[in-house]
Amino acid sequence: MGSLRLESKSALVTGAGSGIGAAIAELFAAEGASVIVADVNESAGIETVARIQASGGQARFVSLDVADGQQCSEIAASLIAEGALIDILVNNAGIGHVGTLLETDGDDLDRLYKVNVRGVFNLSKAFLPGMIERGHGNIVNLASIGGVVAVRDRLAYCTTKFAVVGLTKSIALDHALQGIRCNCICPGRVETPFVTARLKEYPDPEAAYKEMASTQALGRMAKPVEIAHAALYLASDESAFVTGTDFLIDGGWTAGK
């Protein structure tokens, strides 16, 4: 058996209490990483840690609101002070809003911007200096298919996710020669607990699933672990020549565009 792909690496994953973030944290730990599970939902984050530890992995929880720049700086400083240096930063935390321009007000846009864009900015800015000082670092951002093509009734969400793609490419270009790689993943629709709960609100959940999945040529939504495997590739040395990319995992959504 070969060595674990993230052996001796440390990773911090935001929004790791559920869905894609939890899948990434669990897969990274299974591949040998020491994982810091970060989330605003303490009970959900602790549950992720418990699953990782029960499987023999290394993990601990930190409470973190990525929209709070001061808190992000304090978390980074605290980890550095205790010698917990982060090799891999996964900016996964994000929120959504349904609505066109006319159905979206300034507060809606600001709310999404603070988490989806400032959250990536805050945490990357907090950890990047330490990565540069050590001469290596890997940032993986979760954008969306809505950061590459427009999605109906998702104006605020698409606006912020297009920004995440731009942030990713700028970080990659500016810091490539300092040993930093930065990429983002752009998933199509993913069957997360949030989506599953939303489907249950429809009179016919099965029909609603089929309608939501129909935008993807494969006729289904992705599973969180399928997105996690893309994150693993980008976080590992196997992708050493990959930076500044927006990695589409969309089930064929954009194949005909």
Residues noted as catalytic: 157
Nearest to 108 by CA among 148, 157, 151: 157
Degrees to nearest 5, angle at CA 187 with 110 and 58: 90
What is the C-alpha to C-alpha distance for residues 106 and 122, in angstroms, rounded to an integer?
21
Classified as helix, coil or strand, 35 is strand
> Which spans in the chain are helix H?
19-30, 42-54, 69-81, 106-112, 118-134, 155-175, 193-199, 205-213, 224-235
Q: Left (φ > 0), alpha (ψ -120 to 50) or beta: where does 129 sit?
A: alpha
Assess contact for 243 and 182: CB atoms under 8 A. yes
Helices 19-30/224-235 angle, 10° precision = 50
